[in-house]
Amino acid sequence: MLGFLVGEALRDVRRAGRVGVSAILLITLSLAALGAFWLLSLNLGLAVAQWRERLRVVAYLKQEPADVRALVAKVTAMEGVDRVRYVSKSEAMATLKRALGEKAAVIDDLPRNPLPASLEIAPDAGAATPEGTRALSARLSALPEVEEVQGGAEWVESLAQWRRLFQSVGLGVGAVLALAAILTVTTATTLVLHVRRDEMEIMRLVGATALAVRTPVLLQGLIQGLAGALLALAGLEVTYAVLAPRLEPLLAVTLGLARAVFLSPPEILALLAAGAVLGGLGGLLAKPGV
């Protein structure tokens, strides 16, 4: 029975002709747009997570503490702190020399090491926000050993805001295209219903259940939706394969991302399911006799 119903649905897909093709293409477009924004958002999300992980607040000390371990333990115990690393004056100088390279000789003439000792503080996940780092900075500034505090999460947050913007735009564009796709599938299915009204009448007269009469219509929508989703995925995969190697150097410099990622298998399945749902809805909304 199921084989017969699927066969009837495939026959209907062929019958839908150009309108059916339009429906499939619109589903492809809507899911490709949704998928593209999803990919962007996914990679921006990775960059945000990576930068949050690298986020540091630096507390410059008035002088090298007598008991480094005690100061580190005190700061580690503060709210919003994940890890603390002590950087001595000499370590800071060595780092500066490495950074200056061949020009490091200019600082050899200095009468004394002007660089302060510092604490590099990694905020925990809850504090890795602009408000969190501001609060942490305030707490650190209040310490008598601390001269000045630098660092914050503002730009990481602005990256996260870009990500949210991409998500919203993606959902908006996807929703508009999805609506158009549903309407096109509905039109395609309604046309097919009109063509096959004789068959539906015969089905009813010989005692087919309402479900059996309606199932090919639903399946037709599902098949169109799945076909559109597969095309969208293929388009995204090809675009990713072509663009990712070219964009990765730029991503490394701007976002610090070593490589761009593609949708995971569950995300691919979700996109296919979205196609099936779009098509199925179109089939469900179609009414005969229009």
Partner 1 sequence: MIRLHHVAKVYSVGAVRVPALSDVSFSVAKGEFVVLRGASGAGKTTLLRLLYGDEPPSEGEIEVAGLDVTALKRRQIPELRRSLGIVFQDAKLLGARTVYENVAFVLRVLGTNPGDVTPRAFAALRAVGLSSRAQAYPAQLSQGEAQRVSLARALVKEPPLLLADEPTGNLDEDMADEILALLKEAWTRGTTVVLATHQAGLAERLKRRTLVLRQGRLVKDES
Task: DSSP letter for 263, please.
Answer: P
d(CA 52, CA 122): 9
Q: Is 64 helix (H, G, I), strand (E, B) or coil?
A: coil
Asked if 1 is part of the footprint of partner 1 (rule: CB under 8 A), the reply reads yes
d(CA 166, CA 161): 9
Give the binding range for partner 1 (CB under 8 A) out of 1-9, 126-134, 219-227, 267-275: 1-9
- Which element (helix H / strand E) includes 49? helix 2-54
> Are residues 260 and 43 in contact, defined by beta-carbon separation less than 8 angstroms?
yes
> Are residues 268 and 207 in contact, defined by beta-carbon separation less than 8 angstroms?
no
Q: Name the residue nearer to partner 1 (CB basis): 187 or 215.
A: 215
Tell the smallest beta-carbon distance from residue 290 to partner 1 (Å).
20
Asked if 198 is part of the footprint of partner 1 (rule: CB under 8 A), the reply reads yes
Tell the smallest beta-carbon distance from residue 14 to partner 1 (Å).
11
Contact pick of 78, 173, 208, 230 for partner 1 (by CB under 8 A): 208
Contact pick of 148, 199, 248, 267 for partner 1 (by CB under 8 A): 199
Tell the smallest beta-carbon distance from residue 205 to partner 1 (Å).
5
Count of CA atoms in the C-beta half-sphere (13 A) of 192:
32
Count of CA atoms in the C-beta half-sphere (13 A) of 105:
2
Asked if 179 is part of the footprint of partner 1 (rule: CB under 8 A), the reply reads no
> Are residues 279 and 27 in contact, defined by beta-carbon separation less than 8 angstroms?
yes
Tell the smallest beta-carbon distance from residue 11 to partner 1 (Å).
9
Asked if 206 is part of the footprint of partner 1 (rule: CB under 8 A), the reply reads yes
Tell the smallest beta-carbon distance from residue 217 to partner 1 (Å).
14
Tell the smallest beta-carbon distance from residue 35 to partner 1 (Å).
37
> Are residues 60 and 116 in contact, defined by beta-carbon separation less than 8 angstroms?
yes
Kindly write down the DSSP assignment for every residue of 125-190, as one continuous string: GGG-SHHHHHHHHHHHHTSTTEEEEE--SHHHHHHHHHHHHHHHHHHHHHHHHHHHHHHHHHHHHH
Contact pick of 54, 62, 194, 204 for partner 1 (by CB under 8 A): 204
Q: Name the residue nearer to partner 1 (CB basis): 150 or 209.
A: 209
Per-residue interface string for the shown chain with partner 1, residues 212-241, x marking contact by CB under 8 A: x-----------------------------
Nearest to 34 by CA among 199, 136, 170: 170
Q: Name the residue nearer to partner 1 (CB basis): 164 or 197.
A: 197
Contact pick of 79, 154, 201, 254 for partner 1 (by CB under 8 A): 201
Contact pick of 67, 205, 265, 266 for partner 1 (by CB under 8 A): 205
Per CB under 8 A, residues contacting partner 1 are: 1, 3-4, 198-199, 201-210, 212
